[in-house]
Amino acid sequence: MSISLHTLLTQLWEEVLETPVAPDDDFFALGGDSIKAARIMNRLQDEMNAIFHPASIFAAPTVNELSAYCLNHYPAIFAQKALTTTAQMVTDAQIASAKEHLQQRNVAEDLQINTTEPNNRQAIFILCPPRSGSTLLRVMLAGSPALFSPPELYLLSFNTLQQRREHFSGPLKFFREGLLRALMELKQHTYSQAEILLDELEQQGISTKKLYGLMQEWAGQRRIIDKTPGYAFNPTSLQRAETEFTEALFIHLVRHPMATIRSFEEIRVDLVTQDPTTDDLPLSPRQKGELWWLTGHCNILSFLQNVPANRQFRLHYEDLVVAPEQSIRPLCDFLNISFSTNLLEPYQEKQRRMTDGVTALGKTLGDQKFHTHQTINANAAERWRDHYQEDFLCDASWTLAQSLGYERESFTAQDETREEWEI
Ligand code: A3P
């Protein structure tokens, strides 16, 4: 049986809000909040077998609006006649403008390097733009007893915890979840106990640097791995990792630009936040994906130029998924940890690896597609080739891709037509 998108959304809203819903009823007036928004979008995900973001309900808070929003932003999934896209290359002016915009994304306006408090001991940072395979890598590394590798912390982007709290509210509340999950594990707390602890720390006016110190104390012998892709967009966040820790180690995770862009387009990463100052660039999702990839890696490479070679390690996502053991062994040497087959089993020990998504909001953090795989999936490396038959990358992206070890290829132009989809 096929039902309209409008009917499906109404059903999901009524199920979660537990009240009848008319097409123009406001979600928040009916008692909706960020957790209920996450539950609705998780249900839509299950129904459509695609990824959606709670922030969309904040941008389109009635069934009528959300229906139009879905048709507009996800034509390949919802429209009866899917659009045929023509690729437009990004320009130098767009590259410069995206760099400027992304620098302000999910970061304190007055972000500074903290030189007043004592430095923290060594930590490990995974640096990459979103959709590079960072969730898989962090979960693999969480298999080592010598490491503590939680979901994204977003600490280096703010001076204090209070500042972080004020920024991550409303539609962005789910960004708080990674740190909460880390605190649960470090202190063996329930979710509510971790919330109380974080509230107290925020009220005490603690700096993010100081919290790292506390977390290191709680982690004991284990070294903390921070995988927060957002750091790649802000040079000050990156510099904090180098300046505020003793001999920090950096894993630069790279992935083919077209694979990263395909992943970005599919998930619509630009719709995660709906921040008009940084996300409202007049660009197609594909162009945005390219600019995020390019900006992220350019920032990381210029940052790493001033980090000694023995403290940085480049890892290709493609190698990680195609030959996991051969990729992880040298990484273990670099991190000075023992290799164990545990590292190759990211779907084991859900609680210890913090992949259990303890709340509806927690499920929306990091890579939702991690849970669509059952094992390290080698096929994911080249999957983008099924979708792109033309070369749309600008020269700057190709030059960067080549410097990261990817070959420039020629593509045979073909018509891009997509299948019709009915729900
Ligand atoms: P695709 O969207 O191309 O499938 P990140 O965590 O940095 O956002 O990266 C997300 C990418 O990692 C997604 O790429 C996702 O499928 C891929 N990934 C997650 N778990 C994986 C696994 N077990 N094997 C292979 N790739 C995986």
3-state secondary structure 13-39: HHHHHCCCCCCCCCCCCCCCCHHHHHH
How many angstroms separate the CA atoms of 27 and 59, rounded? 11
Q: How confident is the model at residue 359 (pLDDT cuts 50, 70, 90)?
A: confident
**Pairing mode of beta strands 249-254, 223-227:** unpaired
Which residue, judged by its Cα, is nearest atom 23 of ligand 1? Answer: 376
- Nearest-CA neighbor of 113 among 245, 248, 229, 239? 239
Atom of ligand 1 nearest to the CA of 138: 6
Q: Is the dihedral of CA 81, 82, 87, 90 positive or negative?
A: positive
**What is the pLDDT at residue 421?**
40
**Mean pLDDT over the full length of the chain:** 90
Helix crossing, 285-304 with 235-243: angle to 10°? 30
pLDDT > 70 fraction of the chain, expressed in percent and rounded: 91
How many angstroms separate the CA atoms of 113 and 215, rounded? 19
The set of protein residues with a Cβ atom below 6 angstroms from ligand 1 is 130-136, 229, 259, 263, 266, 321, 367, 369-370, 373, 376-377, 380, 383
Span 371-399, mean pLDDT?
95
How many angstroms separate the CA atoms of 135 and 300, rounded? 18
Span 159-181, mean pLDDT?
94
Tell me which amino acid residue 194 is: A
- Which domains, from first to last, does the chain contain? 5-78 (1.10.1200.10), 100-403 (3.40.50.300)
How many angstroms separate the CA atoms of 66 and 61, rounded? 7
What separation in Å is there between the alpha carbon of 260 and the centre of ligand 1? 9
Q: How confident is the model at residue 80 (pLDDT cuts 50, 70, 90)?
A: low
Q: How confident is the model at residue 181 (pLDDT cuts 50, 70, 90)?
A: very high
**What is the pLDDT at residue 416?**
47
